[in-house]
Structure 1
Amino acid sequence: MIFEKSDRVKALEAKLEGFMEEHIYPNEARYYRESEDVGPWGVQPIVEELKTKAKAAGLWNLFLPESELGAGLTNLEYAPLCEIMGRSQLAPEVFNCSAPDTGNMEVLVRYGTPEQKKAWLEPLLAGEIRSSFAMTEPAVASSDATNIESLIRREGEEYVINGHKWYTTGATDPRCKIIIFMGKTDPENADRYRQQSMVLVPKDTPGVKVIRSIPVFGYYGVPDRASEVIFENVRVPVSNILLGEGRGFEIAQGRLGPGRIHHCMRLIGLAERSLEKMCQRVQQRVAFGKPISEHSVTRERIAEARVKIEQARLLTLKAAYMMDTVGNKEARAEIAMIKIAVPNMACEVIDWAIQAFGGGGTGNDFGLAAAYATARLLRLADGPDEVHRDQLARLEFRRQSNKRPEQWAPALTDRALGAEGRKAG
């Protein structure tokens, strides 16, 4: 299968690469420094400065396939562009293509009412506000989304929301104005997948309490802002429901499919950049009388990294192609495969790069420690490896179920008996 790039994609690639060279890479050190200075409750000035430049360059909202609101690119066309943006943790937000906003915007595009789109989608697309997604809970195993305990109770023309969430990305950001909240409207429903709903909760609604920022391997707000949030008797209008009561799990599946592939596209870029840094570093350093690049263990790792990145990229491109041609549901096996393969690949490649840099790789002077934290987090975010492996195995059993079983066992038994008979004779 050959994935040809259109002239438009090639032109956007060239523009993106030029912008990265001119504006993103030279400002990464400033981005990490400002992230430490302002903390998870502030905004890095460099981000806002570069967003204006990216918008002026026409490199804005490149995601959103099947919508006239984005660039009108397919998933397959967006994949190489997303990979370029993923090379730097500064870049995705600068181009308004970062989580959780991309997923939340896709939810509003697909399931939002005209009023909801006017209030929240338009300012998100303009980069004027940011958003948050509240799903994961500390008291239950959130790898099974049906475990959610938060409640959404209707009282007249209002919903009353109570719940305790964490790893709610973006809630500490002062620009965050809207939260998509998942909870149960019908906890007694016999169908466990019809118990949940999603509602839009303005962050300034009374009862919404952002308790703390949660560091990921010691990093606050790079690249996202994991947060703990309590919702206590939060009241919102019934009109804030998304799609309808009992449709929350359906929305979650629709949201997470594109989100998973975007994460994988970005991680491939991050792994590619880490390999580049590793190759440069090992040619500059000498150990035991020769450059580190001449040690066989280094060359073996570089070769393995190249193979693994290429494999991951091809699998991701196939998943994007499947999403475009047969839809997200039919591509669920391919999406599960990349969600297993890509974060594990990125963790390994970045870990080899850290090893090549020595002690310096464990700090963030070279951006590798934060890169590893991101890759390791994504073995859990949007579903842990174990869930995707389980789903993939079940899909494989289903795929194999119509095939005629091979009759190998009796033949082996006959041969074994024949051998025993000859020995006896």
Structure 2
Amino acid sequence: MMERTIAEINEKIEAGKASVWTVEELKARVADIGVTKATKQVDVITTGTFEPMESSGAILNIGHTDPPIKIRRCWIDGVMAYSGFGAVDLYLGATQLAEVSDAEDPSREPTWKENRGGGHVIEDLIAGKTVQVRAIGQVTDCYPRASFETQISRDTINQFYLFNPRNLYQNFIVGVNGGDRPLFTYLGPLQPQLGNAVYSNPGAISPLFNDPDLDLIGIGTRVFMGGGVGYIVGEGTQHFPLQKRLPNRTPIGPAATLALVGDARQMNRDWVRGCYFHNYGPSLMLGVGVPLPVLNETVVERCAVRDEELVAPVVDFSIPRRVRPTFGLVSYAQLKSGKITVDGKSVRVAPLASIPRSRQVAAELKAWIEAGTFTLSEPVAPISSDRTFVPQDVWGLQISLD
């Protein structure tokens, strides 16, 4: 069996001789010429997705004022940023809502501003726009300033990078609503009486479906992130590699996730967009592409997986519990047909991810590699493969009825 190394592939990239295919091109070529011949012809396979990734946010260091301030409450364009670490270090979460303060009575609880949140502020900063900062400080001998207001942009602060605790779900669910009223969810509106269905993963072109056991990636893997270069920094929150799997090793529901980091100044607004889900809240649409080195035939065999061979569970959101009932599994080929059958009823279905833009991520990453501007990186450590999923239960007083 033919074997390659990442170092050998990088030599070909730097020499402008690497053969790079998007994952869709790979699947078509395998169907035409088979795994063995395809393996001999391709060095790198590019994957991509463009979907909401709400467990995302930005680290900002806005620089010290004169006199200095130790920020303990801060709002960026009305969105509260977390300030409980360095004096002028901030974390702006993508799903934090913008606040509307009462000008006549600032002590009153704020109301939330519709259609805007942290994801929109991150997008504006990446686009080079100016945003307003309002901060309240803890007065100390080192930091005597009590408050300040200013305007910042990506060019007037020190660090500005995305640090995302949970991106790139390996698989997810299909949401439906078997109840009698509309529901507004993180998948968008779900109509009553199984009026529609929504899925979020782009299926066979999605990065982690094509490396189901995370054999090719790990801590330190370089990726396309928001139009710039990012890195995998570890397992993501809610990482669950022990999910049940099909014989092709792909999971039947939510499984692996990854934490990512990337310099936001390199990023492009085309691939980082704030979004808002009606009656649910803000989020962040993010383009992420993962290059997969073709080290052997097994890599190509895994990447040849088709939508017909991938499944997701259909989950009823009308039951307000952590574990909701399901209507079984459907294939991504069924989902992409636009209709699925749920409980004997034909239900229209739509993707939350943008499949055309997911393809564009893979194509742009391919162009970078072919141009020699993006090389592959060796992981410094693997992503855990044995992490269990721990729920949180509320333990109260036990009342005896005796």
Identify the structure with bigger relative contact order (alpha carbons < 8 Å, sequence gap 6+).
2
Shorter-chain TM-score: what band? under 0.3
> Highest Rg: 1 or 2?
1
- TM-score (normalizing by structure 2): 0.24
Q: Kindly indicate which of the two structures has a greater share of residues assigned to helix.
A: 1
Question: How high is the TM-score relative to the length of structure 1?
Answer: 0.23
User: Comparing both structures, which one devotes a greater share of its residues to strand?
Assistant: 2
